[in-house]
């Protein structure tokens, strides 16, 4: 058996095709992994549609929340062994030598390789990982549930860190999808008080179940930011925007308390207006945040292992991928979808 099954993007306008591919051989520092589960991130949908300025080279296999078992290793591999449980990630590898890699900002490395984007990902029965960067999955965890930690978890954990908020302070989580419903849980575990905003009441209910104290439906409330300022006694100290809609971004900025920070992680291919006067006078910080480092990943996994994070997810199969993407585009997914590749 030298072939594997994978969902392949051949064009940015057509459906993915589930087809047979040759099983790749691991390079010197790489490991071949038999994939068991993979989360489906909205980034995979952006990738398949070619939404962003830097597009993946066609054809490619998306997926960067894969978990599985190492079945073969390259001759330079020391960190992993056959039989280990590992994952892939968006930060598939980095150069290790540039000023960003040297200063703890490997997520900004200009030579990074991205899982399911510039290298084939986890929407298949097998995948390659770089042994130096692959997240090691702790023992005794539920492999179907841990996938969403590998992108959604680490991204919101790091994004919350860089809001520079303190325990007891308010954070706004905008967009309660795959990332957002997990963000509510990290925020609560980190001692923050949570405001959740979405355009769908069922997502807001999910946020409440996970400990959001204030919820606002941006589709039905006239002025969501004014509502948030009132209900938090002056605005949130930090905000994390995961929504895939440009309107959510200025709304989050307008919900900030003076001196507040908004951390942008959602990636709709759009722009948003920023009021210079308010940003300056209120001393606001607007920053982007992209996934997390290997250390952030280990910390994010540790929160999960300690039982503080419970992803809501539905297990589905690879041939359903085009239906899953359609539902995701419409905002119809509750939490995450996890593909079963066993």
Which residues make up the interface to ligand NAD (CB under 6 A)? 41-43, 46, 151, 155, 174-180, 197-200, 203, 218, 242-245, 247-248, 265-268, 289-291, 328, 331, 333
Given the complex with Zn ion, which of 26 and 116 has the nearer CB atom? 116
User: What is the C-alpha to C-alpha distance for residues 132 and 79, in angstroms, rounded to an integer?
Assistant: 7
State the binding partner of 246 from ligand NAD, Zn ion, none, CB within 5 to 8 A by kind.
Answer: none
Q: Which residue's C-beta sits nearest to ligand NAD?
A: 177
State the binding partner of 95 from Zn ion, ligand NAD, none, CB within 5 to 8 A by kind.
Answer: Zn ion
Q: In whole angstroms, how far apart are CA 82 and each of 2, 218, 294?
A: 18, 49, 21
Q: Per CB under 5 A, does 339 bind Zn ion?
A: no
Given the complex with Zn ion, which of 98 and 190 has the nearer CB atom? 98
**Interface pattern 138-157 for Zn ion (x via CB under 5 A):** -------------x------
Given the complex with ligand NAD, which of 23 and 328 has the nearer CB atom? 328
Given the complex with ligand NAD, which of 94 and 328 has the nearer CB atom? 328
Given the complex with ligand NAD, which of 70 and 239 has the nearer CB atom? 239
State the binding partner of 160 from Zn ion, ligand NAD, none, CB within 5 to 8 A by kind.
Answer: none
State the binding partner of 244 from ligand NAD, Zn ion, none, CB within 5 to 8 A by kind.
Answer: ligand NAD
Q: Per CB under 5 A, does 101 bind Zn ion?
A: yes
Query: What is the sign, positive or negative, of the torsion defined by CA atoms of 140, 107, 181, 63?
Result: negative
State the binding partner of 94 from Zn ion, ligand NAD, none, CB within 5 to 8 A by kind.
Answer: Zn ion
User: What is the C-alpha to C-alpha distance for residues 119 and 16, in angstroms, rounded to an integer?
Assistant: 16
CA-wise closest residue to 117 among 17, 9, 244 = 9
CA-wise closest residue to 36 among 70, 62, 82, 80 = 70
What does the chain come to in residues? 342
State the binding partner of 93 from ligand NAD, Zn ion, none, CB within 5 to 8 A by kind.
Answer: none
CA-wise closest residue to 220 among 201, 240, 242 = 201
Query: Of residues 231-250, which lie at the interface with Zn ion (CB under 5 A)?
Result: none
User: What is the residue-wise DSSP string for 118-168?
Assistant: TB--SSBSEEEEETTTSPBPPTT--HHHHHHIIIIIHHHHHHHHTTT--TT
State the binding partner of 195 from ligand NAD, Zn ion, none, CB within 5 to 8 A by kind.
Answer: none
Q: Please report how close the Cβ of residue 56 comes to ligand NAD at its closest, in angstroms.
A: 13
User: What is the C-alpha to C-alpha distance for residues 312 and 207, in angstroms, rounded to an integer?
Assistant: 11
**Interface pattern 32-71 for Zn ion (x via CB under 5 A):** ---------x-x----------------------------
Q: Per CB under 5 A, does 109 bind Zn ion?
A: yes
Q: Please report how close the Cβ of residue 209 comes to ligand NAD at its closest, in angstroms.
A: 14
User: What is the C-alpha to C-alpha distance for residues 226 and 205, in angstroms, rounded to an integer?
Assistant: 21
> How far is C-alpha 119 from the chain's CA centre?
17
Query: What is the sign, positive or negative, of the torsion defined by CA atoms of 289, 293, 296, 298?
Result: positive
User: What is the residue-wise DSSP string for 47-65?
Assistant: HHHT-SSSPPPSSB---S-
Q: Per CB under 5 A, does 89 bind Zn ion?
A: no
Q: Please report how close the Cβ of residue 4 comes to ligand NAD at its closest, in angstroms.
A: 25
| Beta-bridge partners for 194 | 171
- CB neighbour burial string for 58-84, b if at least 16 within 10 angstroms, e if fewer: eebbbbbbbbbbbebbbeebeebeeeb
Where do we find the tokens 């939490």?
A: 335
Given the complex with ligand NAD, which of 52 and 82 has the nearer CB atom? 52
Q: Please report how close the Cβ of residue 89 comes to ligand NAD at its closest, in angstroms.
A: 10
| Binding site residues, Zn ion, CB under 5 A | 41, 43, 94-95, 98, 101, 109, 151
């Amino acid at each position: 058996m030298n072939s594997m099954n994978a969902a392949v993007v051949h064009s940015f306008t057509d459906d993915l095709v589930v087809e047979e591919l040759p099983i790749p051989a691991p390079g010197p520092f790489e490991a071949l992994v038999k994939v068991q589960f993979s989360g489906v991130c909205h980034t995979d949908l952006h990738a398949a549609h070619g939404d962003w300025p830097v597009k993946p080279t066609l054809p490619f296999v998306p997926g960067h929340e894969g978990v599985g078992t190492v079945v073969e290793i390259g001759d330079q591999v020391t960190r992993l062994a056959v039989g280990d449980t590992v994952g892939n990630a968006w930060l598939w590898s980095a150069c290790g030598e540039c000023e960003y890699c040297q200063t703890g900002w490997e997520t900004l490395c200009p030579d990074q390789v991205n899982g399911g984007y510039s290298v084939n990902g986890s929407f298949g029965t097998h995948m390659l990982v770089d042994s130096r960067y692959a997240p090691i999955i702790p023992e005794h965890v539920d492999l179907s549930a841990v996938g969403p930690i590998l992108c959604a978890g680490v991204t919101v954990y790091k994004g919350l860190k860089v809001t520079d908020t303190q325990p007891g302070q308010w954070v706004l989580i905008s967009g309660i999808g795959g990332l957002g419903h997990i963000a509510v849980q990290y925020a609560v575990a980190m001692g923050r008080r949570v405001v959740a905003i979405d355009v769908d009441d069922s997502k807001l209910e999910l946020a409440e179940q996970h400990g959001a104290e204030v919820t606002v439906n941006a589709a039905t409330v006239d002025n969501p930011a004014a509502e948030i300022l009132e209900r938090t006694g002056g605005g949130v100290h930090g905000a994390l925007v995961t929504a895939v809609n440009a309107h959510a971004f200025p709304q989050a900025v307008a919900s900030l308390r003076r001196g507040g920070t908004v951390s942008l992680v959602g990636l709709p291919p759009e722009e948003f207006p920023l009021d210079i006067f308010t940003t300056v006078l209120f001393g606001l910080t607007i920053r982007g945040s992209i996934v997390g480092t290997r250390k952030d990943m280990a910390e994010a996994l540790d929160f999960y292992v300690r039982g503080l994070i419970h992803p809501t997810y539905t297990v589905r199969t690879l041939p359903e991928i085009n239906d899953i993407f359609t539902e995701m585009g419409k905002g119809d997914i509750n939490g995450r979808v996890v593909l079963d590749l066993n």
